[in-house]
Every structure is written in structure tokens, then in C-alpha cells.
A and B are shown apart, each in its own frame.
Chain A
Amino acid sequence: MMKKKNLAVIAVGNELMGDDGIGPAILNALFREPLPEGVDLIDGGTGGMSLLHIMKDYNRVIFIDSGDFGGAPGEIRVFTPRNVHSIKKMRRYSLHESDLIEIIHISQKIGEAPEIIMIVVVQSGKIGINTSLSPEVINAVPQAVKEVISQIKRIMVE
């Protein structure tokens, strides 16, 4: 069994679909921050099931994603997969429409999941064909970066 790497921050989202691109936007901001040794920043894009292959190599993973938890656009939540259940209505799965919570569940079920998974989600405003984020969502980027860095520091010592 290959030794697992330490920690990955994986952004999920499509930059061509408005606020769905918040994950990659936070990731870009993280590249400009001084981070502890052994943290990989990965753009998981619209990876779907391919996220399974990325996360299996790490002991700790922080996902950053857009989401809808009924908050105000730009509101940030930090949680573990255990804290939530998915209510995303996908009539049926396609390779471009997937459910991160379900993919994490599969990874856990087949015994490959990282020991620690944190999810940092920014409440989206508008999802649709557009290369820009809503102003409220852009304004959330600095705070989301702080949240991710504080999570990195917290879980690296666990």
C-alpha cells in the first residue's frame, strides 16, 4: 500500500457557471498565501467520480465548493461529511453532474477515504453560464481563505 500524502485542499466547481466557480476562485487566492509544508492545492474542477482517485492519496482533505444550504449568498459554512446529508435533487447521475457528499460516501464505503475530511462551502447566488461570480460571493473569498488556512492548521496537528 502506497504511503498516503499529508493534506490536500481540493477545489470543486465549474468556473464557466457563475457562482459554481467559487471553489477554484478560493484556490487561486490560496496559491498566493504562505502555507505549511506538505499542503497540495488541487483544482478538482468538475471531476465527479475522478475525485475518488485524487482523495485516496491523502490522509487529510479539505474540499472547497459552492453550495446551497439555504443561507445568504456569500455565507460560509465549514463542516464534515458526517454533519450533513445531501438533498441535491439529481434525477439521475451524469458525468458532469455529481454529488460531492455521495462521492465522499463511496470513498468511505470502499475504505479509501482520507482520515479527516473537511468541507468549506460558500452559499452560491446565481448558477448559470457566466464567467464571473456574484459580488456577495466574491466578497466572501478573503474570509473563505482564512477559514481554509485555519482548518489546515487545525487538522495538520490532529
Chain B
Amino acid sequence: MSKINIAVKHLTRVEGHGNIVFNVKDGTIEKIQWQVSEAPRMFESFLRGRPYHQMSHITSRICGICSIGHALCSLKATEAAMGIEVSEQTVLLRKLALHGENMQSHILHVGYLVAPDLFRVGSVFPMIETHTDTVLKIIKLHRLANEMSDLMCGRTTHPITLIPGGFTAIPSEKQLRNLKQKLIDIIPICDDVIQTVLDNIHMLPDFSRETEYIALTTDDEYALYDGVIGSTDTGRHPIEEYESIVNEFVVPHSTAKFTRHARESYMVGALARFNLNSDQLTPLAKKCAKKFGLKAVNYNPFMNNVAQLIEYYHSVEDSITLIDKLLERGLKKKDNTKYKVRGGRGIGAVEVPRGILFHDYTYNDQGICTKANLVIPTNQNHNNITKDMEIFAPMLLDKSEKEIELNLEMLVRAYDPCISCSTHYLKVEFKR
């Protein structure tokens, strides 16, 4: 093809605004770019001057999908700054909350945003006619994750029960037993959805590019709530060294910062976690990985979608174990850690659905934030998306412009980027 001009303005089925530009003239590629056009959000600026107890509530508003992860990361940073050690029960309950969010986010992405690519339709809406049963099952998986987030955090999005030192309210033992049963009941539905994805997996491009993967890691478990920084290239690093891992920098065509570490780019998210920690997945999740033939280290970014499904299984199975532990111990209604407000710096790191998240706060002696730095997973992936695109796009030149566009969109979508929010409203015509 002698001339290709692709300009995808505001790529859809991702959160927020990003553009793809791909120009070819006389068979020569003139430009490939992943542009992030979202307006800056300024959270780091307006956190300054805020009291410590507002931080998790404000930062949870960064995202409507990862609000639990932001709240937990924020609490961990505040607790690190003030030397607050939370109880084992609080940690177990927080891990359950994080699993709820991981399940919620992953099934939204794979079920509603990626599945249409597998069936070659424009959105989830036509799928209700052609794949009614699959959509129904996806909705069930989504519903359970929503209910779980609601139970653990007081509401589905933007948690209200999570506070420094513990919780304002916790579920009852009866509610936890009920949740456990629902988690057990959802497993066959997971099996069916996974089989459907497996049947259509050939629709995902077979593309690999070696890169570095970064995620939390620990000897104790498949790291989500806690751990140290792990890299497939350079091994383990303390959380406190995060700035020398992410190395943020700016580029002219993006309002979001880019990052790099040992190589020109790195990837975070479900595939990064899988590549670093797959040995610690639960048995069902491992079985699922085996079905897909996914082995660490896998360098195909499209497999991030599969890793998300594997993690859904993991979160279901691990949540059952966590509930058993909580019930075995017996729930204590009053279990919050007492603490004194003090000044200092604290860094929190949590694995949220899209990858490793850092919150870094400095407080004065009154517990007022004087400095905040937040490093979001999607920002860490922008550079890797760009580098993938530079290799992937030239491989597509023999395809039609429409196919090239779809493939490039699918590549970006595989990273499940969460750029920001927009609007929606109703547009209808009356039947005459």
C-alpha cells in the first residue's frame, strides 16, 4: 500500500482520550504515534494543604474503576508516614476489597470492551443478539464483583469504609459466608466465559516484543496488596526506590508523563504480574493459564487480556481462602489501630487492575499534606504502547486501512488504558 493515513482521534473502548497517528507514504512509514490528549488533572497540587484523613477519599476520585486501589494505596502511604501498623484482620479485609475491584475491572475490560474484538463487532450491544448467553454470564461476573466491592467498601465505587488504621464498618460473618457461597457458585460461570474466550483466542494478534515487566512481588503470595518492586530484568527493589524505577519524563505529544527503567520502556498490569509471580497463582488460576498455554515470561501484550481473566479466577479463589481465614479467626468489631498524628514521609504501593501504583506523601506535624507524588499504572504503560506500535505497525502494511486501524486500536486496548472520564447522554429518534 503506497499511502496510509490513519488518525484515530479519541480511541474508544478505553477510558479517556488518546489518539493513534500512523502515516505511510510510498511504502515508507513517516509517523507512528500514541498521543495522550487528556487534560492534566492536577491532583498532586490540590492534595497539598489537605488533612491526612481526607487523602484516601480525594485520591479515590482519580478513577471510577480503580477507586478502591487508589484509596488503599493512599492509606498505605499515610500509614507509612505516621508509623501506623494495621491489624491482620484489617489486612485480610483490605485484600478482599482489592480482589473485588480487580474482578470488577478485569471483567469490565475483557467482557465489555475486548470481547467485541473477539467477535468482530463494534461494541457489546450487538453481542446481546448474537451471544446472549455469554453476555448474560459476563453480567453475572460483573455483578458479583460489584456486590463484593459494595460489601467491603460501603459502596460499589469510591469507598467510604476504608480509613487510616482500619475500617468505619466491616461486613458481618453472615455476610461473609453469603459472599463465600456466591464466589463458589460463580466458578462454573467463569469456566464458561473462559471457554468462550479460548474458542476465539485466535482473533487476538500473534505479536511479541521483548520488554521489561514490573510489578509488586513477595515470597508470601501473588502480590497485589503488598510486596517489593519486582522487575523481570533487574530483580527486586525496595518500594522506597520507586522514583529510580519509574524515571518519569515528558514528551511533546502527550499530556501524560512517560516512564522507563532498565530498557527503553516497561510494562505493568496483569501480564507483568503474571510474568513475575505466576508460580503463586491459586490452583484454578494456574489451570486456566494452562488452558491458554500461557507461560512466564510471555512477551505478547495482547495476552494481558488473558492474564486479566486468569486473575479473575485467582481473585475468586483467593477471596474464598481469605474469608475462611477471617471466619476461623472470628471477626472483631473493634479492631482499628489507634495512632497519633505526626509528620513525615510515607510511600504506598499497591497492584491495581492496570498495574503497580505509587502514592508518596509528606505531612507536617499537624498531618497536613505538604507534598504528594502519584505514579499511575497507565502512565507507566504509555511508553511501552508506543514501542510496541513502532514494531507492530510495520507488520500490518499489507492489510487494509480499516484492518490496520482495528489492529492498532486492539493493541492499545490490550493495555486497558484508563486515561480519564467523559460524558454520556441520550440521543433518540421517535418511531413514526
A residues at B contact (CB < 8 Å): 12-14, 16-17, 19-20, 46, 48-50, 52-53, 65-70, 79, 83-102, 105-106, 109-110, 119, 121, 124, 127
Contact = CB atoms under 8 A, between A and B. Distances in A.
Contacts of A86: 426-428
A143 B323 CA distance: 50
Contacts of A102: 125
Contact of B427 (A14, A16, A53, A88): A88
Contact of A93 (B123, B132, B426): B123
Contacts of B428: 67-69, 84-88, 101, 121
Contact of B112 (A12, A49, A88, A89): A49
A90 B431 contact: no
Contacts of B113: 93-95
22 contacts: A12-B424, A14-B424, A70-B429, A79-B430, A84-B429, A84-B431, A86-B428, A87-B427, A88-B427, A93-B112, A93-B122, A94-B15, A95-B65, A95-B108, A95-B113, A101-B426, A101-B428, A109-B132, A110-B128, A110-B136, A124-B425, A127-B423
Interface of B: 12-15, 64-65, 108, 112-113, 116, 122-125, 128-129, 132, 135-136, 139, 142-143, 146, 156, 421-431
Contacts of A98: 424
A93 B423 contact: no
B431 A68 contact: no
A68 B13 contact: no
A65 to B, nearest CB: 5
A106 B135 CA distance: 9
Of A49, A87, A94, A119, the most chain B CB neighbours within 10 A belong to A94
Nearest to A86: B428
Given A68-B425, A83-B430, A86-B426, 13 more contacts: A46-B424, A49-B108, A49-B124, A52-B143, A68-B428, A70-B429, A89-B427, A93-B112, A94-B14, A96-B15, A96-B422, A102-B125, A109-B132
A48 B424 contact: yes
B429 A69 contact: yes
A85 B427 CA distance: 9
B427 A105 contact: no
Nearest to A66: B425
B6 to A, nearest CB: 14
B429 A67 contact: no
Nearest to A19: B425
A105 B64 CA distance: 24
Given A85-B428, A88-B428, A110-B135, A96 B423 contact: yes
A20 to B, nearest CB: 5
Contacts of A48: 424
Contacts of A93: 12-13, 112-113, 116, 122-125
B67 to A, nearest CB: 13
B431 A67 contact: no
A20 B122 CA distance: 25
Contact of B426 (A14, A17, A65, A96): A65
A66 B426 CA distance: 6
A95 B15 contact: yes
**Looking at B12, B426, B430, which has the most chain A CB atoms within 10 Å of its CB?**
B426
A156 to B, nearest CB: 24
B139 A49 contact: yes
A99 B426 contact: yes
B12 A97 contact: yes
Contact of B143 (A19, A53, A92, A124): A53
B146 A50 contact: yes
Nearest to B16: A96
Contacts of A53: 142-143, 146
A12 B426 CA distance: 9
B103 to A, nearest CB: 14
Nearest to A128: B423
B128 A109 contact: yes
Contacts of A110: 128, 132, 135-136, 139
B425 A13 contact: yes
A79 B156 CA distance: 30
Contacts of A127: 423, 425
Contacts of B14: 94
Contacts of A90: 12, 123
Contact of B12 (A13, A17, A91): A91
B123 A92 contact: yes
A95 B112 contact: yes
A96 to B, nearest CB: 5
A19 B427 CA distance: 13
A133 B125 CA distance: 30
Contacts of B156: 50
